Amino acid sequence: MLIRNTVLERIFDGEVDLVFRRQKRPTVRTGGTLRTQRGMLDIVRIDSVALDGIVVGDARRAGYDTLDELLVDLTAKPDGDFYRVEVRPGGDDPRAALQQADELDDDEVAEILARLDRLDRGRRGDWTRQFLHVIAARPHVRAPDLAASIGWETQPFKEHVRKLKALGLTISHNPGYELSPRGRAVLSKLPS
Measured distance CA(5)–CA(11) in Å, rounded: 10
Instruction: Write out pLDDT tens, residues 40-67.
Output: 999 999 999 999 999 999 999 999 999 9
Domain locations in the chain? 5-92, 95-189
Determine the CATH number of domain 5-92.
2.30.130.30
Q: What fold is seen in the domain 95-189?
A: Arc Repressor Mutant, subunit A (1.10.10)
Residue 25: band (very low, low, confident or very high) from pLDDT cuts 50, 70, 90: very high
Instruction: Write out pLDDT tens, residues 97-131.
Output: 778 888 899 999 999 999 999 999 998 899 999 99
Closest CA to 177 of 130, 142, 144: 142
Contacts with 172 (C-beta within 8 Å, 6 or more apart), sequence order:
37, 161, 165
pLDDT, mean of residues 85-100: 86
Closest CA to 180 of 170, 172, 166: 170
